[in-house]
């Protein structure tokens, strides 16, 4: 999803934190096909830990800018959420040597978990705090919970707001660049992000090539991103364009556009090779909620499955306004699906939403 604080700055909008304090927190009540897990900062992006016992969460500032962007951990058994402890110990081969450790507390926007060629686990994190970077972390478990060791980073000089990141099999990554800060400063109108025009593009990084813009990858506010298992295709959400697009890394162009009837946010792979995505229904909904600064602005939610081979999609789950506040991510855990959000105080559990593995 968009980092709402960065967009607020770019559009020179003033976000009122006092409004959040006066809001009444909606009841945490289960409904048909879903169970809310409440009492947390907005869990915008989700990854399942290697031991399948925890979720790694990135936290947004929320619509009322009342939260601190950071990494968190949720124990799936107890549903307890805590901040992830991050230690700093640089290591060659993780990012670029010239990229220094973050001086301030690290933020977290898009995140992606993968296994490196040497078998070690890697968590990539898009960080906006003090700089635009992709941070390389190594998650470590003590058998009871997880912490992370900062190993390195890649700093963007592209002049754009980074959004989401996905590792590539060759040790690199692809990251979505949503919009240009200079363009938004020159013409700070929200409609530039919502009317479907191309505002951003894809960036790719590899140790041998550095960070570079991918040719012919321009798209309307590129959002969530995933890379195919063979490393040949990048799938990303053209957010206000209501579609998920396929970019061929060999041909260096967009080769497929799958239209959806909502605004797809983050993406994740299912166990059988489909893509899960979640989002809000339309730009009118996002506009209304963004401009209201209402942390619990009612918005409907959609979770969909995309078959990348057939180029088709189908709705997995829909909910009326008020069940979740800004659906942003859907992640498979066994047969269950967890749904994150960019605002509010909760995520959702959709039990047995997927067929047996």
Q: What average pLDDT does the chain have? A: 92
Residue 14 has pLDDT above 50, yes or no: no
Residues in the chain: 357
The pLDDT tens digits for 230-247 are 999 999 999 999 999 999
Give pLDDT, residue 87.
96
Containing H/E element for 114? strand 111-115
For residues 86, 53, 345, 193, the Cα torsion angle rounded to the nearest 10 degrees is: 70
Q: How far apart are CA 53 and CA 188, in angstroms?
A: 43
- Could you tell me the pTM of the whole model? 0.94
Q: Which two tokens stand for residue 78?
A: 């107890």
Look up residue 37 and give its two tokens: 């897990």
Within 10 angstroms of residue 257's Cβ, the number of other Cβ atoms is 13
CA distance 312 to 308: 7
Higher pLDDT, residue 223 or 11: 223
């Amino acid at each position: 999803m968009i980092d709402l604080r960065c967009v607020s700055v770019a559009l020179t909008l003033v976000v009122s934190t006092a409004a959040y304090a006066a809001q009444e927190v909606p009841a945490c009540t289960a409904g048909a096909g879903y169970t809310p897990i409440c009492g947390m900062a907005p869990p915008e992006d989700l990854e399942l830990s290697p031991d399948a016992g925890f979720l790694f969460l990135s936290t947004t500032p929320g619509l009322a800018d009342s939260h601190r962007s950071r990494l968190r951990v949720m124990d799936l058994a107890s549903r307890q959420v805590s901040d992830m402890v991050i230690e700093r110990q640089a290591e060659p081969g993780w990012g670029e040597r010239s990229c220094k450790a973050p001086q301030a507390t690290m933020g977290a926007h898009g995140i992606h978990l993968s296994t490196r060629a040497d078998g070690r686990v890697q968590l990539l994190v898009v960080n906006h705090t003090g700089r635009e970077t992709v941070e390389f972390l190594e998650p470590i478990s003590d058998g009871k919970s997880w912490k992370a060791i900062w190993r390195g980073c890649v700093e963007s000089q592209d002049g754009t707001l980074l959004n989401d990141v996905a590792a590539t099999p060759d040790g690199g990554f692809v990251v979505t660049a949503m919009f240009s800060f200079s363009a938004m400063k020159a013409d700070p109108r929200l409609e530039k992000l919502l009317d479907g025009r191309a505002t951003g593009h894809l960036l790719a990084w590899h140790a041998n090539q550095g960070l570079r813009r991918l040719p012919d990858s321009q798209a309307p506010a590129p959002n969530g991103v995933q890379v195919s298992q063979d490393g040949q295709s990048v799938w990303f959400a053209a957010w206000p364009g209501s579609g998920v697009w396929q970019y061929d890394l060999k041909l260096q162009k967009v080769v497929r556009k799958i239209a959806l009837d909502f605004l797809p946010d983050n993406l994740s792979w299912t166990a059988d090779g489909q893509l899960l995505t979640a989002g809000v229904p339309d730009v009118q909904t996002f506009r209304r909620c963004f401009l209201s600064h209402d942390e619990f602005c009612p918005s409907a939610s959609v979770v969909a499955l995309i078959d990348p081979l057939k180029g088709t999609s189908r709705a997995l789950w829909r909910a009326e306004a008020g069940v979740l506040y800004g659906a942003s991510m859907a992640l498979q855990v066994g047969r269950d699906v967890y749904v994150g959000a960019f605002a509010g105080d909760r995520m959702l559990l959709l039990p047995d939403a997927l067929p047996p593995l």
